[in-house]
Chain A
């Protein structure tokens, strides 16, 4: 595990990824947001990566500095499913932390992604959640049971989807019950 040796800069992080992965890093935005009377800033990096490079991107990040994975969130964008992994690096110093959000899009025809549990064991629960909520297949996950949904939850229904596999048919129309 790479211990925190040196402080990373936002530009340094972006450059390191751009050098390593070239065109696989699709879109990078560095945002700064000031708060309080002294207007100290917090830096956030939004980075979009290609699906094929995702695993190596995480590997590269872990070698750069072992990150904290807060959670992965997901969006159903119609033809694709977007997963956003929310990392933070540089924590431990006063206002040095950098938020790093790495997003990856998976085609709905083949929603598969490799597990990152071998690098970050703490990713297990969030990966299990993505499997049951978005119907994403996480390849190589050490534990593929359901996490939040009951074991007898209908197959092929994914609560975060917005297409025909969404939870619409499970809704109860309360106004109809009262009639």
Chain B
């Protein structure tokens, strides 16, 4: 704990580790002057499970399933980045059809993740009807995921050198029907989020991240793009089938004409990305060539091939929250010598500090949630003031946020 005050009138409140508006544990310490946030300190590591160490006793195919369990929401991105890293190190060539199938899975996951986030964001500002509406659409996206992979969350679809399940012709009508539904609902949700007066009041001008800060602090994903930095692994590099598709880097300027880098822009950014993902799935279905879906169907043979490799590789994939990067070093043993995982939230921690500074306590939930952090949930906030200890539960903090919305509506 820092416990260092910069002014006489300021005081500290710890938030977390069990939740500040997040889904997983992280610890914030706020220095406050009245309602205003003066400084923020973040402490991580409450859910460090030594996944990288666990890989030392597993072969690359087993690691795919371990990687899938790093995160419940991006359970496709981690195995994808790991497979890319191993393929880079071992120079495995991937069949063209598999590259397109990989894009479809990646974009479907993005739709699920962004809809989940939109619901959480609505809940944080006290808009629970919108939470139910967005999650109703997300349910449909999860059903489609189950239809394509057999599972809703941990899909077990990735394989080194390809993908495990094909999309056959008889599956296409259902996919097209669902995509039509998403498009319709996109219009409806877009209208709710972008034109609603209360959402605008709470999100415009809150939690601003400037373009310069985003660049300097190496922010990634929708967080950096909403600040106007054009950085998207899918656009910038050629991997999977993204190089074949017609796509550009979207920023909030595409819709609103200018970039402010506030919470509102991050909402706009994610909505635009949902639309882009729907279009990308359609493009993939149109352009998908026929052929194999995996380079080596016999797993024992694949493992024997990988055992001969001596080298290192890096895999980068644009996850819903931004660039995920895995580094793998193979040294001729069953298990890789090194496996380094870097999830997007790792880089989006430091940008929280400029975002939160100058905002109010009631803005903590929505600003912290606006980067879509993938760590964990505010169960309790303890306020230490004049030596007396007060505890603020998650419900009370949430109530403060809801009350601010109601105040603004008057």
The minimal Cβ–Cβ distance linking A48 to chain B, given in whole angstroms, is 12
Looking at A7-15, A20-28, A53-61, A91-99, the stretch in contact with chain B turns out to be A91-99
B314 at the interface (CB under 8 A from A): yes
Tally of contacts, chain A with chain B, CB under 8 A: 129
Q: Which residues in chain B, 31-61, are within 8 Å of chain A measured between CB atoms?
A: 44-45, 48, 50, 52-53
Measured in the bound complex, the distance between the Cα atoms of B316 and A9 in whole Å is 20
Contact of B287 among A1, A37, A126, A167 (CB under 8 A): A37
A140 to B310, CA, bound (A): 35
Across-interface contacts of B237 in A (CB, < 8 A): 42, 95, 97, 99
B53, B88, B99, B342: the one within 8 Å of A71 (CB): B342
CB distance B45 to A148 under 8 Å? Answer: yes
Complexed CA–CA distance, A92 and B349 (Å):
22
**Contact present for A95 and B236 (CB under 8 Å):** yes
> Within the assembled complex, what's the spacing in Å between the Cα atoms of A19 and B346?
35
Closest beta carbon of chain A to B44's beta carbon, Å = 6
Query: Given the complex, which residues of A lie within 8 Å of B218, measured CB to CB?
Result: 68-70, 120, 122-123
Most buried by A among B218, B242, B338, B340: B218
Whether A36 lies near B243 (C-beta < 8 A) is yes
Minimal Cβ-Cβ distance residue in B for A149: B45
How distant is the Cα of A40 from the Cα of B217 in the complex, in angstroms? 30
User: Which residues of the partner chain B approach A96 to less than 8 Å between Cβ atoms?
Assistant: 236
Q: Which residues of A contact B216 (CB under 8 A)?
A: 1, 120-122
Given contacts A35-B94, A35-B241, A167-B53, contact A99 B314 (CB under 8 A): yes
**A150 proximity list for chain B (CB < 8 A):** 45
Point out the residue from B231, B244, B325, B337 that lies within 8 Å of A40, measured CB to CB. B244
A147 partner, pick from B45, B52, B242, B325, beta carbons under 8 A: B45
**How far is the CB of B248 from the nearest CB of chain A, in Å?**
7
Name the one of A36, A94, A121, A160 contacting B240, with C-beta atoms under 8 angstroms: A36
Could you tell me how many residues of chain B have their Cβ less than 8 Å away from some Cβ of chain A? Answer: 49
Whether B215 sits at the interface, judged by CB under 8 Å, is yes
Indicate whether A37 sits within 8 Å of B215 (C-beta atoms), given known contacts A99-B316, A159-B53.
no
**Is A33 an interface residue, CB under 8 A from the partner?**
yes
Residues of B within 8 A of A69 (CB): 218
Cβ of B347 within 8 Å of any chain A Cβ, yes or no, is yes
Measured CA separation A95–B242 after assembly (Å): 10
Q: How far is the CB of B223 from chain A (nearest CB, A)?
A: 12
B236 touches A88 (CB 8 A): yes
Measured between alpha carbons, how far is A36 from B287 in the docked complex, in Å? Answer: 11
Q: Which residues of B contact A160 (CB under 8 A)?
A: 52
Query: Is A75's beta carbon under 8 Å from chain B?
Result: yes
CA distance A86 to B329 in the complex (A): 14
- From the candidates B96, B231, B325, name the one contacting A92 in the complex (CB within 8 A): B231
Find residues 343-374 in chain B having any chain A CB closer than 8 Å to their own CB.
Answer: 346-347, 349-350
B249 within 8 Å of A (CB atoms): yes
Given contacts A1-B215, A38-B244, A70-B347, contact A91 B238 (CB under 8 A): no
One digit per residue, 1 when the CB lies within 8 angstroms of any chain A CB and 0 when it does not, for chain B 272-298 equals: 000000000000000101000000000
A163 within 8 A of B: no
- By beta carbon, the residue of chain B nearest A66 is B215
**122-154 of chain A: CB within 8 A of chain B:** 122-126, 146-150
- Residue of chain A at shortest CB distance from B344: A70
Please measure, in the bound complex, the distance between the C-alpha atom of A148 and the C-alpha atom of B212, giving whole angstroms: 27
CB atoms of A38 and B243 under 8 A apart: yes
How close is B165's CB to chain A, nearest CB, in angstroms? 20
A contact residues around B325 at 8 Å (CB): 70-71, 86
Contact in complex: B316, A70 (CB < 8 Å): yes
Q: Is B239 an interface residue (CB 8 A)?
A: yes
Q: Is the CB of B235 within 8 A of A94?
A: yes
CA distance A75 to B323 in the complex (A): 22
- Given A75-B338, A95-B237, do A86 and B327 touch, yes or no (CB 8 Å)? yes
Within the complex, what minimum Cβ distance (angstroms) separates A106 from chain B?
16
Contacts of A1 in B (CB 8 A): 212, 215-216
Task: For A68, give the chain B residue with the smallest CB separation.
Answer: B218
- Report B214-253 CB contacts with A as 1/0, cut-off 8 Å: 0111111000000001110101111111111000110000
C-alpha spacing A126/B343, complex, angstroms: 12
Closest 6 CB pairs of A and B: A122-B218, A40-B243, A97-B236, A73-B340, A148-B45, A40-B238
Interface of A toward B, CB cutoff 8 Å? 1, 33-38, 40-42, 44, 66, 68-71, 73-75, 84, 86, 88, 90-97, 99, 101, 120-126, 146-150, 159-160, 167
Given A37-B244, A101-B314, A120-B216, 17 more pairs with CB closer than 8 A: A35-B99, A36-B96, A36-B241, A36-B242, A36-B244, A41-B238, A44-B314, A68-B215, A68-B218, A68-B231, A70-B325, A71-B340, A73-B342, A75-B337, A96-B236, A125-B349, A159-B50
